[in-house]
Amino acid sequence: MATQTYEIQSISRLKDAVALIWADGEKDVFHHIWLRDNAPEGRHSVSGQRFVDLLSYPAEVRPISVEVDWTGQLCIVWWPDEVVSRFDPAWLKENSYSGPAPVGDRWKRTLWDSSGPFDWSDAPTYNQVSNDTEALRLWLGQVSEYGIALLRGVPVESGTITKVVEFFSCVHETNYGQVFDVRTVPDPTNLAYTTLALSPHTDTPYRDPEPTIQLLHCLVSSGQGGDSVLVDGFRAVEDLRLRHPQLFEELVRWPVRFSWGDGDTELSAEAPMIRVDAQGRVDRVRYQNSTMAPMRVPDDRMLSFYQAYRAFSELIAGSSYQAILKLEPGDLIMFDNRRVMHGRTAYTEAGERHLQGCYSDMDGLHSRLALLTKE
Amino acid sequence: MATQTYEIQSISRLKDAVALIWADGEKDVFHHIWLRDNAPEGRHSVSGQRFVDLLSYPAEVRPISVEVDWTGQLCIVWWPDEVVSRFDPAWLKENSYSGPAPVGDRWKRTLWDSSGPFDWSDAPTYNQVSNDTEALRLWLGQVSEYGIALLRGVPVESGTITKVVEFFSCVHETNYGQVFDVRTVPDPTNLAYTTLALSPHTDTPYRDPEPTIQLLHCLVSSGQGGDSVLVDGFRAVEDLRLRHPQLFEELVRWPVRFSWGDGDTELSAEAPMIRVDAQGRVDRVRYQNSTMAPMRVPDDRMLSFYQAYRAFSELIAGSSYQAILKLEPGDLIMFDNRRVMHGRTAYTEAGERHLQGCYSDMDGLHSRLALLTKE
């Protein structure tokens, strides 16, 4: 990576801030309080953590002197405690807040529809991602960018799914255990354990926090049907926002309660179906018809809520959004549970279908991806 | 528990809804679409999950007939598919949305200050909560109500902390492992592993989702200092809101990035310091000076952000908020990491201090508490 050098041409003192004019003529303003709070001398040498508390200096902290030292760094002597701080110009440029905020975060996002996120036949194998960090990086990158990735050739052996999680992070255990089995059982406490079709949904919206990654590993698939149905929830949300902005707002606004229990568990959590971040970008979808509790909104808003809920449901159920993937033994899908909805077609009692599932979290995936990207 | 019976006196048909007049003269309105979506016949008999999709009937679904049957249930025959639904009147009353929404959720919340959440000397012992479900219920209830609870007489043995988690839920593993050790180490990658004082903070705000419960188990405490400093973050937030509503709004509005890494981990997450729920109640605090990344808000908002951040920091640092608790070997505290901030006073190099920590989640705690409350 080429290192760009930044040169401070001149400095002007403002009332509450320092303005830097760069060699290219651009100008950045940094407030005194911000500079002092981010002084490198206030960071622990090994952990990089800040150990100087905001309250250890007054709100009116300001430079006694500001200059560019002989190494090109910005050198400030502070009033009142005469502490000296030296700032690297490249660091200042990188953390400048004078311009408009960068849109989105560092991870690229690509929306997809029924044609799927990418060509499934390009999926890497278990051996590739376990032996080759570049293959692992590309595979984790797909989950980050598309919200989903496929892995092939995963040993058809119960429990292997946790080894896949260990490639990047750790298992997020829930009431369903470290690993759970999705197959038909008598007296099912969850619709997942029947042969019924499941319409696309996100998992465990009745948890707070809910696991943000799901993995499903196919061990047996001998019957007709049981195809996986996958929907990019962010794509559906963006289309809802474009076509029906008012309905989109209804789903952002009203919290929905989801509840589920069996004899050993009684979970309940409330959050809107769609959440947007501070920049207005959708960052979370919670959608599971089967566990949605009776809705509570003011009387005169119930119809508009249902209108919005129906419009969103229609998008998700539409063939233009649903990508179909038949998992074969040894296939494993991993997806962002805040973004990608998964379901299945019904399957015959005659055949057998056995998936093993487990949860993890996107923050751990992004941590590993950040480290692999640096290498 | 006494069961109240509800009697439907009369029914009137509205354009989009059914109005019920109860025997006591009160009236509740239920929209057709809401009734159909919540029809008990649409729920799976064992799991209780809804299996009838919203899209399986039209938006204009409406009753062909509505009547009270001979058992007192509300009986509706639906147009267009002639499906019959029977609603229990008590269930309807409980789920009525005609009145104002109930404030808050089912769990009581009591704020506290430097005098602490309750009398620490009343803390139960490990043996009590492991043998007596009522003691366990009261103990978990303290975490729910006050955001914190103390347990005494926990065997001073490495790893016992996970047995405490198993009383109610499971461990939330992170990059720090299932269990982590808080004690002095050479070349610490985290300030926690030094003898330095730590100002009150919430843990791992650089994760998303962050663990919502933390447990700390004292194994050794032979030196001077190292007292635990505990602050009810919700109390500090409510006082900030009361005294400086505009500053409160600043902290709700602007996302703050927290970042932390060592050689194996590189975590980064962004969220406002204070989050409020749809009813405007504070439901999450993220506060950790040491890992806060350089702040980015528009240029002309930086000073007001810092003014708010400082005002909040001053409250947290104030002696009227900080409850001090010296943990002795065998003591264990468990707290809501979205609410209670924890820190410690500095301690001497001469003595030894060893805490074991681990994370879990509030949803699992509330699940167990809900089941124990039913018993």
Q: What is the pLDDT of residues B146-178, one digit of tens each?
A: 999 999 999 999 999 999 999 999 999 999 999
Residues with Cβ within 8 Å of B291's Cβ and at least 6 positions away in sequence, in order, are A49, A50, B205, B206, B258, B259, B260
Q: What percent of chain A has pLDDT over 90?
A: 84
Q: Hey, are the CB atoms on B292 and A173 less than 8 Å from each other? A: no
Q: Hey, are the CB atoms on B53 and A289 less than 8 Å from each other? A: yes
Mark which residues 187-226 of A lie under 8 Å from B by CB.
187-191, 196, 199, 207-210, 212
Q: Average pLDDT in the B30-35 region?
A: 98
Confidence of residue A1 (pLDDT cuts 50, 70, 90): very low
Mark which residues 121-160 of B lie under 8 Å from A by CB.
none
The packing angle between helices B233-243 and B245-253, to 10°, is 120
- Asked whether residue A20 carries a pLDDT value surpassing 60, the answer given is yes
Q: What angle do CA B3, B8, B9 make, to 5 degrees?
A: 130
Confidence of residue B1 (pLDDT cuts 50, 70, 90): very low
Helix, strand, or coil (residue B191):
helix
- Asked whether residue A210 carries a pLDDT value surpassing 60, the answer given is yes
> Backbone phi, then psi, for B79, in 5-degree steps?
-90, 140
First to last CA, chain B: 11
Provide, as residue numbers in chain B, all residues whose Cβ is less than 8 Å from the Cβ of A174: 170
Q: Report whether B188 contacts B358 (CB < 8 A).
A: no
Residue B197: per-residue pLDDT: 85
Q: Which of B105, B208, B244 to mutate to test the interface with A (most CBs of A within 10 A)?
A: B208
Residues with Cβ within 8 Å of A319's Cβ and at least 6 positions away in sequence, in order, are A114
Residue B5: per-residue pLDDT: 79
- Cα separation, A76 vs A96, whole angstroms: 17
Q: Hey, are the CB atoms on A188 and B46 less than 8 Å from each other? A: yes
Residue B4: per-residue pLDDT: 66
The pTM assigned to this predicted structure is 0.94
Residue B347: per-residue pLDDT: 82
Q: Report whether A90 contacts A213 (CB < 8 A).
A: no
Q: What percent of chain A has pLDDT over 70?
A: 98
ipTM of the complex: 0.93
Q: How many CA atoms lie within 13 A of A357 on its CB side?
A: 21
Q: Which of B35, B62, B97 to mutate to test the interface with A (most CBs of A within 10 A)?
A: B97
Confidence of residue A2 (pLDDT cuts 50, 70, 90): very low
Q: Report whether B55 contacts B38 (CB < 8 A).
A: no
> Is B262 or A239 the better-scoring residue by pLDDT?
A239
Q: Report whether A148 contacts A140 (CB < 8 A).
A: no
- Cα separation, B31 vs B14, whole angstroms: 9
Average pLDDT, chain A: 93
Q: Hey, are the CB atoms on B207 and A363 less than 8 Å from each other? A: yes
Provide, as residue numbers in chain B, all residues whose Cβ is less than 8 Å from the Cβ of A255: 277-278
Residue B172: per-residue pLDDT: 97
Q: Which of B20, B26, B34 to mutate to test the interface with A (most CBs of A within 10 A)?
A: B34
- Asked whether residue A28 carries a pLDDT value surpassing 60, the answer given is yes
- Asked whether residue B349 carries a pLDDT value surpassing 80, the answer given is no
Residue of chain B whose alpha carbon sits nearest to that of A100: B298
Q: Round the CA-based radius of gyration of chain A to a whole number and report it.
A: 26
Q: What is the pLDDT of residues B225-239, one digit of tens each?
A: 889 999 999 999 999
Confidence of residue B224 (pLDDT cuts 50, 70, 90): confident
Residue of chain B whose alpha carbon sits nearest to that of A39: B294
Q: Report whether B163 contacts B334 (CB < 8 A).
A: no
Q: What is the pLDDT of residues B98-145, one digit of tens each?
A: 987 766 567 899 999 999 999 999 999 999 999 999 999 999 999 999
Nearest C-alpha neighbor of A264 from the set A360, A190, A354: A190
